[in-house]
Amino acid sequence: MRLNKFISETGICSRREADKWIAAGRVTWNGAPAALGTQVSPGDRVCIDGTPLGDKKKPIYLAFNKPVGITCTTEPGVEGNIVDFIGHAERIFPVGRLDKDSEGLILVTNDGDIVNEILRSENNHEKEYVVTVERPITDLALDMMASGVKIMGVLTKPCRVQRLDAAVFRIVLTQGLNRQIRRMCSALGYRAQRLQRVRIINIELGGLGAGRWRELTEAELAGLLPRES
């Protein structure tokens, strides 16, 4: 098993974070500095900052309704970080990000595999949002948003957009550029006042209250986890 996968399966971090730790020299393998791509066999000893890794943790998959003001980071020094807010007994981390000023659904887990599966851009996983702007938005602006808007020198992928009210619309994206929706609105002359994510792939926010979390159901997991080949 590759070292980054071995580390992520203990629930301490994602594979991506494990690669950073390995590159930074924080990981040893059988007493020697580990390298990216190291293969771990049964009985091997892997340590992080000199501390041996424990056994593989039971997978945890949570749906969390992030309130405005909570930051999607595992860094303990950041006030209002998502891990401290949830206060779970096990070490967990968010799958991707949701801006501090945004709210709604974010998945939280200790499974590094699911992080990689969801964040791979080529998988084109859908994420759905309800957006409120500061003034009535025109049909032309919504059509332009659906066709693609140039932000940060990149033309966004075509997406589905549906008006819900004069200044409220639903948008379904299959990419996740930095602050994408806010930048798309700004490029068309609008300001996103409220941005709520209501769905990730097959997981719905539903009636989950702000600041609350729940475990994913078996049916939700079946549609979310990568299928064995």
Rounded Cα distance between 223 and 219, Å, is 7
Structure tokens at 123: 């998988």
CB 131 within 8 A of CB 193: no
Question: Which is nearest to 117 in space by CA: 11, 220, 2, 15?
Answer: 15
Distance CA 178, CA 69 (A): 17
- The DSSP-derived string for 13-24 is S-HHHHHHHHHT
How far does the chain reach from its first CA to its final CA, in angstroms?
17
Q: Which residue in the block uniquely carries the two structure tokens 């499974």?
A: 111
Question: Which residue(s) pair with 103 in the sheet?
Answer: 196
Q: In the chain, count of helices (H) and strands (E)? A: 7, 15
Residues 118, 96 contacting (CB under 8 angstroms) = yes
Q: Is 143 a catalytic residue?
A: no
Q: Which of 44, 49, 99, 139 is catalytic?
A: 99
What DSSP element (H or E) covers 225?
A: none
Residues known to be catalytic: 99
